[in-house]
Chain A
Amino acid sequence: DGCSSLRLVLLECVGEENWVDSRTVYIGHKEPPPGAEAYIPQRYPDNRIVSSKYTFWNFIPKNLFEQFRRIANFYFLVIFLVQLIIDTPTSPVTSGLPLFFVITVTAIKQGYEDWLRHKADCSINECPVDVVQQGKVVRTQSHKLRVGDIVVVREDETFPCDLILLSSSRPDGTCYVTTTSLDGESSHKTYYAIPDTMAFRTEQEVDSLHATIECEQPQPDLYKFVGRINIYKDKEEPVARPLGAENLLLRGATLKNTQHIYAVAVYTGMETKMALNYQSKSQKRSAVEKSMNAFLIVYLCILISKAVINTVLKYAWQWSPDRDEPWYNHRTENERQRHVVIRAFTDFLAFMVLFNYIIPVSMYVTVEMQKFLGSYFISWDEEMFDEELGEGAQVNTSDLNEELGQVEYVFTDKTGTLTENNMEFIECCVDGNVYIPHAICNGQILSAASSIDMIDASPGGYRRDLFFRALCLCHTVQVKEEETVDGIKRGIHQGRPTSFYISSSPDEVALVEGMKRLGYTYLRLKDNYMEILNKDDEIERFELLHVLNFDSVRRRMSVIVKSSSGDYLLFCKGADSSIFPRVVSGKVEQVKARVEQNAVEGLRTLCVAYRRLSESEYEEACHHLMEAKLALQDREQRLAQAYDIIERNFVLLGATAVEDRLQEKAADTIESLHKAGMKVWVLTGDKMETAAATCYASKLFRRSTQILELTKKRTEEQNLHDVLFELNRTVLRQRSISGLSVDCLDFGLIIDGATLSAVLKPNQEGAGHGNYREIFLEICRNCSAVLCCRMAPLQKAQIVKLIKASKEHPITLAIGDGANDVSMILEAHVGIGIMGKEGRQAARNSDYAIPKFKHLKKMLLVHGHYYYIRIAELVQYFFYKNVCFIFPQFLYQFFCGFSQQPLYDTAYLTLYNISFTSLPILLYSLVEQHVSMETLRREPSLYRDIAKNSLLRWPVFLYWTCLGVFDAVVFFFGAYFLFDNTTFTSNGQMFGNWTFGTLIFTVLVFTVTLKLALDTHHWTWINHFVIWGSLLFYVIFSLLWGGIIWPFLNYQRMYYVFMQMLSSGPAWLSIILLITVSLLPDVIKKVLCRAMCPTATERAQVRCWHQLHLRLEVQIVLFLKLGCSCFSFSDF
């Protein structure tokens, strides 16, 4: 019989298997009976979860090593070491202290996080677990669990490791599990025990089990598991059963609706799938970061050339000995004896050290902080909070905030992203007869279904009933019979408020609910029997034999059931393209026509077919399936083959139509994205007609859009080459005609998966490799919207990659909600996940997750725009303020004999970037709003102003650098001419070099802070506080620093310098003068640019301002009038 044939299959398989990457688990640590198999003792890690990175002992070395791997930190370390080793102008403290600060703060942060992880690990590792030992339940700690232990898990407990379900308290050997903490899916999933063990009820029974499990070595895919259990009974051949993902309970998941289960540990500790999934994704880097690095290299070059110039000049200047060593300033003997080359090299290093502040440590810290803190504004955003879902936007990485403002291409999924993925059954069509449920659904009256109940009126009994039964049986829907369900509620309140349908696919729920409204109610799955309440209120029972699960490649699913009359029936439902080729009879034409009509209306269609299996056919199918399921290697592929063999020779029953409504404001969002200059591509697995209808509805295509089709249908008529060239010609002609006209016709392209792969396929005909690719890209470039339908998940990623690699290197964004979008989300520069109904995989793998598609608008147009201008200013300003800071030092070298004498005191050198000028820019980069949020949202075209990294391009960078140099020259030579040979005080006393430096430094601090103040368009009280506060802090610090003889310092060079300076009138006057002069050019540039050629953003600012003013004026006039009337009244 079936069983023995299975065994045979298994034994055949055994020989072929490659046992290297599989493991054998001895349940209950019992060795297999002698002779059956060799006992292979294997060592597995214990069940200790170690998510922490460090231990107490290796924290310092490991953390330091990791921190100094960053190039910036390493650079500062080198500078610091140079300062320690050679005699340099500034004390090691100046670079050591900031570096120490940065390193310490980071280390403390990481240490704290690690300590939290340790604590969490500890509590997890020490939580109690019940283990069956010698027929008794023994309580132990989680980390003591070993592979092979039999574990008891009770309801609402979390699984301590990856387990194979042996038996559950439910009689059918199933248990329900939520994997919310793993993948966020809140639906209950059913797991199955193998039939041989599901009957175990007590510990003793479980303990008596003598079996081994062979399974693959751990791998991170949560949804894949292949294994086999060999059960030894007395003196019999062992019984082998296949194990799959449906038997594997994952660590981190929670047991629900089941009193308790017995299960055996197969993967423990760091080998559990959850632990393997901790691995972080590859790092994405933003365009801003790249330009920042480019600027850094420029500054490094400037730094080195400055040092070289000064070194060369130094030795040229020192040529005469009375300059090198005048009588008043001798070298030490040591120095004199040093070789001139070494001396020159030391001088070079000393200059490097003197000027090293041009690349500031604090920039990295500030950028990191800006990104980290700034990303909170996304998750705090109330407008991106979805009441229904109870969740707001999520930020998974803060590295890409500013990239949101740079997006040029948006790739969006259709189902669940553009549309609600909230399916509603519309109609079904059996043999050309259309059935529309008349009932009221979810409180909404279906407009189309104006109460015609066609079931009784129409003829065609058997086929029709079979169709309804097919839809009632061919699914993986679960029935929840409780009042409250943790998952998403999808109940039908038809006198039975207590039952809900739950499924990972909303289509299925819609279909089953639709059937219910048409009279066939799916009741439950009980003991492997599916129960249906038919329209005569009789219960029909079908034995569920096999489920051929849905996958996105096959695009269909099937069930094999045995009816009460003993017939074997295979029901299959799937996309029309995957059903029609397999259909041998049935009213194909009528159904096809209806399906196409529905698709044009934007409905999702599924076709249903069946096949009656004879006993032998069933056996054969069974055989195929078992063979595939038992395979340890390539199981997926074998299963697909088996499915392919089984799912054929169908009889077509009919088709269904389900509506998936557009998401709220999807059209508005797409329109805004278009206006913002983004190109929107829809990538969907749906069929062309459905997708095109959705595209029209969502205004991706407008009525005026000229549609270019690049589909299989067309390429069958002409060859691909001709079609491509023709389209290209059309596009180019149009462009040359329209030329300057504003309202030029826009193009929309529709391409399907098959054609796409033909386009992307490397050209064999030697007519130029990748030729089509270029033409295709050229066409796409001229299309404002592209629809790619019939796409496989991997093709989605391919498209994104193709655009990414095109010669303009545009910034791409992919948005999707399902597992099939993950590949493109990972591929695109920015990946956005919709917290959809198809699970959380997209959201988990994305960089940002939002509840609804409409939130994309605010995300890009408002947040993205803000983040971009903020960080652009941050980067430019940082370079600017350090040019201002260091260039005077460079100039000073010409007046101090190139002796590397610093202009500023050590404290100023150290604190300039850390405290005097750090907070205002950090705050600016957190709260700046150059235009109001409303304006940004109202005028999406403002987004074009910042496109292509416009604020960080070389001309802008050059402007900032020149401004910095100009300011530095003003500071230095201003102070030089004021100081030159005159007295500054009214008591005739003279100032020294430290006063000179302090004067320049004061002007510097005020100028760079005020420059930022001039750039600030959004003055909240915090801005006022921080900008004026940091200036005040500078003054107070200087007073304090110069006010005391600091006992720990071995020099008192700053003593009373600042106060003496402030007591001098000319110093005040020159500070004011120099600040004014250095701010002047920037103000003039701003005003002139705004007046002569205002950008759209600047126009918007002015407009806003005028509107506010008008409002204000009206208010004032009203107020005055009121006042007048009051006055006149009182007068009267």
Chain B
Amino acid sequence: MMASSYNAKEEDGHHSGASSGAGAAKNRKPDNTAFKQQRLPAWQPILTAGSVLPAFFVIGLIFIPIGIGLYVTSNNIREFEIDYTGESSNSPCYSCAKNVTWNSTEPCFCTVNFTLERPFESNVFMYYGLSNFYQNHRRYVKSRDDRQLNGDPSSLRNPSKECEPYRTSGDLPIAPCGAIANSLFNDSLVLYYIDSNNSQSEVPLVKKGIAWWTDKHVKFKNPGGNSNLTAAFQGTAKPVNWRKAVYELDPSDPENNGFINEDFIVWMRTAALPTFRKLYRIIQKKPGATPTLPSGNYVLHITYNYPVLSFDGRKRMILSTISWMGGKNPFLGIAYITVGSICFFLGVVLLIIHHKYDNRNTSADIPS
């Protein structure tokens, strides 16, 4: 709410010039329009303590409940995070972390055990997280060819210059070209639940629905349709770091293979900050009342392919439930509560000021 009033100045019409006869002179006379005379009717708000303080109270009263709501929601979200980089010698993936290079042909396996104290209700989202990985480096961000990824055949054969130095391999163009594609995250994670009689049962992981719908269906397209990808990618090379070609990313499902592989699409959306997480799999809620992930012991089987220690990076696996406001983020709720309280407090201060100063000013200025 602001102090406001409509000023009463109205355009008093085009009263034609009082004197008649001076024809030439009258033409030069400026038009008596409200705009030209700067007399357009206007709302003239002024920010005084008196007029602003209701706004502060209103903001306070709206923000604090929202903040509390957000904070509670955020606190109700279950999130579990485990670092499996293996940089310390007692961690299970230590040997893998030591040995893995891009040249190694043998995959390295390791397992990490963990315990969920409380059960995870509803859908659980499985993320992998990387730290100190500069996906937002300029050289990296631009190193892609969106035309190629959109299935453009000429770009497939002749990728954009931006892809350098990951543009060609030997004489063959790389598909998909560029640093982003080349550094595709290729660890695979499998989750097992260890039930009370110590038997492991695999938790079903859904690999669809992790990428933006528009990315999968519009922005990313395989050259020449999804069938017979091998032929479509004939004459291109796989990215240097890849073990298998792009058309072998998910041979089981033609709708998830090639450029439209969801893991690939997720990776191609470069993260904003050097510590980031990306959606890996979704664990669907089971029908009935059983929690998606009951509390208990779990084991994570990792195919350790992705070296991060060379740049002092970390790898994490995150399990999280999601609410209407996304993942766990206490910051938003706290921020809302803080701002709401500040506004409320300022409202009180302004109330005092208003009583001390505004009235005095008014009474001084206007003899009643």
Contact = CB atoms under 8 A, between A and B. Distances in A.
B244 interface: no
A993 interface: yes
A1087 B49 contact: yes
A702 to B, nearest CB: 27
A988 B282 contact: yes
A1022 interface: yes
A923 to B, nearest CB: 12
A1073 interface: yes
Nearest to B275: A981
A1102 interface: yes
Contacts of A1101: 44, 46
A1088 interface: yes
Given A896-B134, A896-B138, A993-B272, A380 B322 contact: no
Interface stretch (A325-333, A581-589, A651-659, A959-967): A325-333
Band of interface residues on A: 35 or more
A328 B30 contact: no
A981 B138 contact: no
B40 A895 contact: no
B47 A978 contact: no
A1019 B43 contact: yes
Contact of A1052 (B140, B146, B332, B350): B146
Given A1065-B325, A1066-B332, A1020 B40 contact: yes
A1102 B46 contact: yes
Interface in A1035-1062: 1045, 1049-1053, 1055-1056, 1060
Interface in B1-33: 3, 5-9, 17, 19, 22, 24-26, 28-32
Interface string A909-934: 00000000000000000010100110
Interface string B133-144: 111111111111
B138 A328 contact: no
A1045 to B, nearest CB: 6
Interface stretch (A49-57, A175-183, A897-905): A897-905
A329 B134 contact: yes
Contact of B218 (A377, A977, A1045, A1066): A1045
Contacts of B30: 379-382, 385, 392
B327 A982 contact: yes
Contacts of A1022: 40
Contacts, number: 304
B270 A1076 contact: no
Interface string B335-368: 1100100110010001001101110011001100
Contacts of B162: 1050
Nearest to A985: B326
For chain B, give the interface size range: 35 or more
A991 B44 CA distance: 42
Contacts of A1112: 5
A983 B47 contact: no
Contacts of B327: 982-984, 988
Interface stretch (A440-448, A615-623, A671-679, A1091-1099): A1091-1099
B236 interface: no
Interface string A377-404: 1011111010101111000000000000
Nearest to B66: A1069
Nearest to B318: A981
Nearest to A1111: B8
Interface stretch (B169-177, B191-199, B208-216, B225-233): B208-216
A1109 B4 CA distance: 9
A566 B366 CA distance: 80
Contact of B279 (A326, A932, A990): A990
A327 B102 contact: yes
Interface in A1018-1041: 1018-1023
Query: Which of A990, A995, A1053 is packed against the most chain B CB atoms within 10 Å?
Result: A990
Interface in B109-142: 123, 125, 127, 129, 133-142
A323 interface: yes
B25 A992 contact: no
A976 B332 CA distance: 11
Interface string B145-165: 111001000000000101011
A696 interface: no
B150 A1020 contact: no
A990 B179 contact: no
B41 interface: yes
Contacts of A1053: 146
B88 interface: no
Given A1052-B146, A1073-B339, A989 B43 contact: no
Nearest to B34: A1020
A978 B329 contact: yes
A1105 B362 CA distance: 11
23 contacts: A89-B138, A329-B137, A330-B179, A380-B31, A380-B36, A392-B29, A897-B137, A899-B139, A978-B332, A985-B326, A987-B322, A988-B327, A989-B212, A990-B278, A996-B273, A1017-B44, A1018-B44, A1019-B45, A1069-B325, A1069-B336, A1103-B366, A1109-B5, A1112-B5
Interface of B: 3, 5-9, 17, 19, 22, 24-26, 28-32, 36-49, 52, 59, 63, 66, 70, 102, 123, 125, 127, 129, 133-147, 150, 160, 162, 164-166, 179, 182-183, 209-212, 214-215, 218-219, 266, 269-279, 282, 307, 310-312, 320, 322-329, 331-332, 335-336, 339, 342-343, 346, 350, 353-354, 356-358, 361-362, 365-366
Rank and list the top 7 A-B pairs by shortest CB-CB distance, nearest first: A390-B25, A983-B327, A996-B272, A328-B183, A988-B125, A899-B138, A993-B272
